[in-house]
Structures are given as structure tokens and as C-alpha cells.
A = this chain, B = another copy of it.
Amino acid sequence: MRRRLIGLTSTFFVLLLSVQPGLIRAEDGYQLWLRYLPLPQEVRQSYAGHLKAVVGPNLSSRSAQAAVTELQKGLSSMLAEPVGTSDGIVAGAVVLGTPQSLPLLATLGLPLNDLGREGYLVRSALVEKQPVTLIAANSDIGLVYGAFELLRQVQTHQPIDSIDRLEAPKVQLRLLNHWDNLDRTVERGYAGQSIWDWWRLPDIVDPRYTDYARANASIGINGTVLNNVNARPEVLTDRYIAKAAAVADVLRPWGLRVYLSVRFSSPVDIGGLATADPLDPAVRQWWRSRADEIYSAIPDFGGFLVKANSEGQPGPQNYGRTHADGANMLAAALLPHGGVVMWRAFVYSEEDPEDRVKQAFTEFTPLDGQFAKNVVVQVKNGPLDFQPREPFHPLFGAMPRTPLMMEFQVTKEYLGFSTHLVYLGALWEEVLEAETFVQDGDSTVASVIDGTLRDYPLTGMAGVANIGTDRDWSGSPFDQANWYAFGRLAWNPHRSSKAIAEDWLRQTFSTAPEFVGPAADIMMRSREAVVDYMTPLGLTHIMGTGHHYGPAPWVSDLGRPEWNPYYYHRADSEAIGFDRTPSGSNAIAQYAPQLANRFASPATTPDIYLLWFHRLPWDYTMRSGQSLWQELIEHYDHGVAEVERMQADWAKLEPWVDAQRFDRVSRLLTIQLREARWWRDACIAYFARQSGLELPEGARPPEHDLEYYQSLEFPYAPGN
């Protein structure tokens, strides 16, 4: 066995490179998709004459330095030889420039106007008569994004002889939402503690923050909300602002702004005021003063994220004011500094007896047009809560005069935590491609999110992060793909989730088609699998109480109706499902008429939403000719079979994966299969009991009786 060491011109990083085919170095996943392993000899040769040096004349910002450094680091490592910098433009160089740093760009006829502030162009070009690979942008952060684009092309072995890539983000705010608490626990976190070491900040700044920033920049994420939407007021004290500022300093060169979640009652909690009424002058002054303080520490602070009057959080309604009153008050404090308010639409009241999935629409649509210009309303993809499948949220398309941004959940609160392989790209693509039918032509959810449908001045997409202190960041190798896919979709909500999966696989594991094809297939099928073994045919929210781990459709004794899984399926001896037609809660009326009509009848409702919208007898005849009961069991069986297939398919991919990650995924699939069977068996045992029906001929009986499944308890489930 022989290995080679690559000497590099830069002193601060070193890599060990294994170039012998068939010998794959164990990896712990820390490097994510930025591994920069040495390319195979033939691929390296294909880049001969290119990538000889990195040249960025007149660039001096920390962002530009980051772009140059990342290119040097990545290219040196992948090409297995030092790639230096040069003062002058030389043949074969990678040249970075903005109109300010490289005035000759103006002579090249480049479509710089199409790039905006963050876009980039990566193009083979003649510059000063030298053939080079040009990375051009209007700002230094565009150069960072362009650098990562070029690196991705090389990582995935793409030819660059006549490269011509132009990209500009279609969404302005591309943010992670960390549900990280100040005590370093993470709500719905399944990958260790919060990476934010609040206690030791600002003195101790973990080098990991830089790698976090690099990873995010590489997929286009440009902001991060550091703390949980269930916010503690102390985050607005000087002590914590200084801590946030230290994080912001690390993230800034990589184009990430820092945001904070704030508690609406902070003026009372920590400000010594008697009220948090948004129309009270002292309250308004208090928020202005806090905003001023934040901006003096973090000049490019992004703004506030607010969960108000939802699940017990305080809000303007406590004072008889509206969401708009509350949001606008905060917006006024941030406006002089250029900050935004992201006001969450995830509200459901502790008192309102209305169908829970209707409440956000009911509360928010009357406020359309009443929000300040630097407010954006943040709406979860579905009207319930990050389920394996929901129809899209009816607010999308329904607030033409209020910018709405998307909230996806990257962490898999309801989809098996970090132990189930579920590629969320497929779920998000389904949502983004859904037609709202609010007007003719393209009226997809994506067209709402990218602002084209309603000409929104502000656009955004937020992902509830799945990041923690686990060495591999996300708790499992394939959960890294969800972080990656979120970033790529936030940049361009029209991108294909399958293409994203393939890019991720090539960067993260191997470019071999024999690997990428089957692995992408596993990923793309994984989302339907989890729907089938957890909540098929439009079932929803039947997970264990509180922690949301495992099946618990039987729970029906909690204080409020909508806390109970039973509320969502209502299975009894007659029927199963939630009637959301006019004979029931009439939630379908919140959709555009074309959709509402489709959802009004089971016959025209897609099977995937059947029991979401309809309450149907067990012997209802499905499109297949089978009864609902038969088909429900068939879906559960299919979900389990799909995991068995994933396991078998993964086993065949061993030659292309290092031992450590191969083993980790294999073990996780073992857990997933065991839990898929548990889901199937527990749900079938329960629905059989409720319906009083026998299992259909040939159906495998559950392994245990219902009482066994009901007896299981998980007091130390994570993330709760």
C-alpha cells in the first residue's frame, strides 16, 4: 500500500490523500460534501492546462480572501499538487473579479446585469489574451458562490474546457432556522447539542463555525437564525448580543447574516416594563433601543424571527392587537438598519375549536396588505406540522399583498429523526411544484416563494436545521443530503430534487455512475416509503405524543382535542379520516376553487390526500377496486418492503463507500427497517381493533398485540 502526501502552499491545512484505487479512507462525515479528495489520474489529466493558479487582482475583502483560499485548498487537494496564487493573469488561471476589482470585465461583454448582488458567472474566457476560467460577480460574495460552483464542477468531474455557468439566486432570504436553546439543547435536534457554545462565547469561538459557514456558502445559504423560535428573552441582553456578534464575525465573509428569534414579551421579561403592548410608546422605544444595540455590535444583523400567539408563546393578541400590529412594531425598530421581521404563520390557539389546519389561514388572510414593507410572513409547507405528507399550505397564493416565505423542516421531527433515511428533497419538490390555481398560468407554490406570482419585494425560504455537535453534523450520512438539498432549493426552488441528490452523492461519496444511479434511486424512493410505513393515504400526526417517535394512533386522552393523534384520523367501527369538505370542517374552501372542487369528492381527490380530506367507510372502494382497509394494509406493507429494498440496494454499494460511513448507513437502515415494521404492525393492530375487521386473506398479522405497542414508552427520546 502506498500513499502520497500533497504539499500545499498554504500553511493552515493539511490533507492526507489516498490515491490507490480500491482503498477508500475511512471518513467520519465531518467534511460533508466538501471533501476535496484527489481526483483519479485520468480526471486530473482532463483538467490539464486549467486550474493552474488562482488570481484575484485588487481583491482584499474577507469574502474575496475566502473565495481564493477555498479555491486554493480545494483545487490543490483534488489535483494533488499545489495551486498557488499569482499577481498577474496567467494562462490556465482561475481569475476572480468584480467590476470594481477588475475593470477590464466591462470590455468582455458579460451579462453582469443578470447576476444581481449574489449571482456569479463561471466562464472560459480570454482575459488579457490569456485563456482562463473566469469567475465574475458584482460583489465579493458572488465570487464566493462562484468559487464553490467551480469546485463543484471539478468535484463532480465535469469538463471545464468551455464552461459557461451563470446563476443568480431566485430567492433573497435563504436561511437556516436553528431551534437551538441557550442551554445548548436543541428542540427537535437529533444530532447532538447545539453547535453554538453560548456559555463560552464570545471568548471561545469554535473553529467549527468556519466550517459551518463554508458548508452553507457552498450551497447558497445566506443567513442563519441562531436560536429557537420558542425564544428566551435573555438572547436580547448585552451579554448574548456580544456572543451572537462573535458568531456573526465568523460567518460574515461567507455571506451569512445572523438573525435572532425574539420573545414578544421581552420588554416585560428583561426590560422592566409592565407591558409588551406593541402600540405602547415605551415598548416601541424599548425595541428600538435593543435594535440599535444589536446593530452597533452586528452592523449587518439580519433581523428577527417571531413565533407569537402560538403554542403558548406570548404575542400581540395578549394585548388585543393583531399579528400585523406586532410585526410592524418590530419592523419599525429594524427598518433604520435594514433588518427584516420574519413573522411565523404557524399559529394555533389554545382556545379556538376550529379545525387546527384552518387557523393560520383564518387569522392571516384578513391582514393581507397590513404588514410593513420589511415584514415577511413565514409559512410552513403544510397547514399542519411538518408531516411526512400534507397538502401545501393554503396561505400560499392567498396573500397577494404580503410577502410569504417558506418554512421547511430539515430536521426530521416526524420522519424518523436522524435514524431513518428519508430524502426530503422529494417532499419539498412536491410542495414547490404544487399548483395553487390562484391564477392562470404558472401559479405553483414555487412561483409564490420566488416572488414571481405576486411580485413580492421580499422573498425567502427557511429550513429548520438538522445540525448539531455530532461529528457528522446531522446525525447520519444521508441527513446531510437534506441540509444540502435545502440550500440548493432555496437558491432555486425550481431545481430538480433528483439532480440535487445526484450532485450531493457525487460530492459526498463517489462520482461512479454505478453508485450514483442506485443511491439516487434509494433517496428518491425513500420519502414515499416513510409515508407508506407511517401515514399512508393522507393519514397524519399519529406519532407518539410529545417526542413524535414511533406510532401512537390510539392516544386520545390529552387535554386538548388537537393534541391527540385520534383527532386526526377518528377511526371507529364505521370509518376513518377527517372530513374537511363542506359536510365537515370545510378546510377545502381555503384553496382556490379549482382545487377545492377537486378535493370536495373522494373520487377526484388524489389517494395521497384521501383521508386528509375525507372520512370514509372501511369498505370504501379504492381506484384499485380494493377496499380502503385492504389498500391501507397494502401501503403499510409496501413501506416496509421499500425499506427492505433500500437495505439490499445499499449493501450492493459497498465498493464505492468508505467503511466507516458504509457501516453507519447499514446500521441505520437496520434501525429503520425494525421501526418501519413496528409502525406497520402497531398501526394495523390498532386500526383492526377500531374497525373490528379481520386482516385480509394473506396479510401478515402484527408481531405483538395492540396492548404491547401501547405499553411502549420512551422517556429519554431526543429533541423533546
Residue A5 at the chain B interface, CB threshold 8 Å: yes
In the complex, A18 has a CB within 8 A of chain B: yes
User: A469 to B7, Cβ gap below 8 A?
Assistant: no
A1 in the interface, Cβ–Cβ < 8 Å? yes
A1–B9 touching, CB < 8 Å = yes
Q: Which residues of chain B have C-beta atoms less than 8 A from A184's C-beta? A: 716, 718
Chain B residues within 8 Å of A182, by CB: 715-716
With an 8 A cutoff between CB atoms, is A204 at the interface? yes
Chain B hits for A471, CB < 8 A: 208
A26 touching B12 by the CB < 8 A rule?
yes
**Total identical chains:** 2
Chain B residue, CB-CB nearest to A670 = B203
Please give me the residue from chain B that is nearest to A234 by CB atom. B715
- Check A7/B3 contact, CB under 8 A, given A28-B207, A199-B717: yes
Chain B: minimal CB distance from A471 (Å): 8
A2 at the interface (CB under 8 A from B): yes
Top 7 A-B residue pairs of the complex, sorted by shortest distance between their CB atoms: A5-B5, A182-B716, A183-B716, A14-B16, A16-B16, A203-B671, A203-B667
A 1-55 contacts with B by CB, 8 A: 1-5, 7-9, 11-12, 14-16, 18, 23, 25-26, 28
Nearest-neighbour CB distance to chain B for A15, whole angstroms, equals 7
A1 with B5: CB separation less than 8 A: no
Q: A716 to B667, Cβ gap below 8 A? A: no
**Nearest B residue to A208, CB-CB:** B471
B1 touches A7 (CB 8 A): yes
The interface bits of chain A over 339-350 (1 if a CB of B lies within 8 angstroms of the residue's CB, else 0) are 000000000000
A203-B670, A203-B671, A660-B207 are contacts. A2–B7 as well, Cβ < 8 Å?
Answer: yes
Cβ of A198 under 8 Å from chain B = yes
- With A1-B7, A667-B203, A667-B204 known as contacts, the answer to whether A198 contacts B14 (CB < 8 A) is no
Chain A 152-170, CB-CB to B under 8 Å as 1, else 0, gives 0000000000000000000
Q: Whole-angstrom distance between the alpha carbons of A14 and B207 in the complex?
A: 22
A129 interfacial by beta-carbon distance below 8 Å: no
A236 within 8 Å of B by Cβ? no
Is residue A489 within 8 Å, beta carbon to beta carbon, of the partner chain? no
Cα distance A718–B193 when bound, in Å? 12
- A600 contacts which chain B residues (CB < 8 A)? none
Selected A-B contacts with CB under 8 Å, 12 pairs? A14-B16, A16-B16, A182-B716, A185-B185, A192-B192, A192-B193, A192-B469, A193-B469, A199-B718, A203-B671, A204-B667, A234-B715
Residue pair B14, A18 in contact (C-beta under 8 Å) = yes
Query: Known contacts A182-B716, A204-B667, A204-B671; can you find 8 more A-B pairs with CB under 8 A?
Result: A1-B7, A4-B5, A11-B23, A14-B18, A16-B16, A192-B469, A207-B660, A469-B469
What are the residues of chain B within 8 A of A234 when measuring CB–CB?
Answer: 715-716
Answer yes or no: A501 CB below 8 A from chain B CBs.
Answer: no
A204: chain B residues within 8 A (beta carbon): 664, 667-668, 671
Count residues of A near B (Cβ-Cβ below 8 Å). 46
Q: Are A14 and B3 in contact (CB under 8 A)?
A: yes
The distance from the CB of A647 to the nearest CB of chain B, in whole angstroms, is 13
Q: Bound state CA distance, A716 and B199, in angstroms?
A: 8
A443 within 8 A of partner (CB): no
Q: Does A419 contact B (CB under 8 A)?
A: yes
Distance between A179 CB and nearest chain B CB, rounded to angstroms: 16
Q: Which residues of B contact A716 (CB under 8 A)?
A: 182-184, 198-199, 234
A342-B130 Cα distance, complex, nearest whole Å: 77
Q: A3 vs B667: C-alpha distance in the bound complex, in angstroms?
A: 37
Q: Mark A256-287, 1 if CB is under 8 A from B, else 0.
A: 00000000000000000000000000000000
Please give the distance in Å from A516's CB to the nearest CB on chain B: 26
Provide the A199-215 mask, 1 if CB < 8 A to any CB of B, else 0.
Answer: 11001100110000000
Q: Which residues of B contact A14 (CB under 8 A)?
A: 3, 16, 18, 25
Interfacial chain B residues near A200, Cβ < 8 Å? 419, 671
Within A650-694, which residues are at the interface with B (CB < 8 Å)? 660, 664, 667-668, 670-671
- Inter-chain contacts of A671 with B (CB < 8 A): 200, 203-204
In the bound complex, how far is the Cα of B670 from the Cα of A8, in angstroms?
34
Interface residues of A in 161-191 (CB under 8 A from B): 182-185
